[in-house]
Amino acid sequence: MDVIEVWSGRYACLLQSALRLTNEAFANQLGIAVRTVAAWHADPSVVPRAEMQQLLDAAHERASGSARQRFALLAAKKDGNGASKSDTPAAQVLRVAISVVVRQGEVLLVCRRDDDASGITWQFPAGVIKPGTKPETATVREALDETGVHCAIRQNLGSRLHPVTGVICEYFLCEYLTGEATNSDTIENVDVMWVPRNSVARFISADTIFPPILAALEEQT
């Protein structure tokens, strides 16, 4: 198989396996977030958007001859024997830092692109906590990388296993310092916006918001 007409999450994971890359290394090679790779593992049937199709095409074209041969063998084996979630490469356990950035009576939100397998659209800025990196460092860095906003940690709100994505999330209440909110990660996001703190539930389903976040926002003036 030399050409993939339409990349799916399953084919993307097979390419990752053929390249012998971890989730993080594969994401770095494509220039995307690790959560996107994890979403492909979680739902192999998902079809990435056009820009992502092009990134996968390029990665396949750049692969060595042996890696392309491994990919073809893996794809042929799966296509011949039938594929299921159980026979795709296992997703790695992820830890994600969540930035709840407040500015006066507002909260900073980002809007993910609609091909996210988790079904989440609007959410707080978030990023994977890389091995050896402190959650606090990841929180501040990801907020800046995604939105152009500089912030400082005000309070650790705790952690949980996210009810939708299934990843371990660590939440931090952050104070806005400086910077204009802009969409700095156009591959993953479509928009960035400050919203009134009492309107967050209009953008993010209240039953998925970590309760300590709601309590912290209630305390903001």
Instruction: Quote the strand ranges of the chain, DSSP E.
Output: 95-103, 106-112, 122-123, 126-128, 150-161, 168-178, 189-196
Residue 43 in this model has a pLDDT that exceeds 50: yes
Q: Read off the pLDDT band of 88 (50, 70, 90).
A: very low
pLDDT for 210 beyond 80? yes
Q: Does the pLDDT value for residue 45 go beyond 70?
A: yes
Mean pLDDT for the stretch of residues 109-135: 78
Between 3.30.365.10, 1.20.58.110, 3.90.79.10, 3.40.50.300, what CATH number should domain 95-219 receive?
3.90.79.10
The domain locations on the chain are 9-87, 95-219
Distances (CA, A) of 131 to 25, 33, 98: 12, 15, 16
**Does 157 have pLDDT greater than 90?**
yes
Rg from Cα positions in the chain: 19
pLDDT bracket for residue 128 (50, 70, 90): confident
